[in-house]
Homo-oligomer: A and B are copies of this chain.
Amino acid sequence: MSSSPKLQQRLQLFGENIRRVRLERSLSQEHLAHAAGVHRTYLGSVERGERNVALANCYAIADALGVPLEDLLRAPQ
C-alpha cells in the first residue's frame, strides 16, 4: 500500500500494538485471527503495518484482544 510516511507510522504503531497485546495474552496469530473473524495472513499484514484497516476490522481485532480500540492507536502508556 502506498501512503504518506505519517500514515505509515500510524499503521505500523497500530500493528505493533496488536502484536504486543496478542503476545502479552499468549495468543497465536491463528487464534486471534479466528477470534476476530479475519484470515491469519491478513492479520499478519495488519501487524506489519501493511494494511489500511477499516473500522469494522479494527474493532473486531480490538474486541478479540479485549482492549479499547483507542489503546491500539497510540503509543503504549
Contact = CB atoms under 8 A, between A and B. Distances in A.
Interface in A27-57: 52-56
Contact of A54 (B52, B73, B74): B52
Which bucket holds chain A's interface residue count?
10 to 19
A71 to B, nearest CB: 9
Interface string A49-67: 0001111101100000000
A10 B52 contact: no
A23 interface: no
A37 B66 CA distance: 33
Report the 6 A-B pairs with minimum CB-CB distance, sorted nearest first: A70-B70, A54-B54, A52-B54, A52-B56, A53-B55, A7-B56
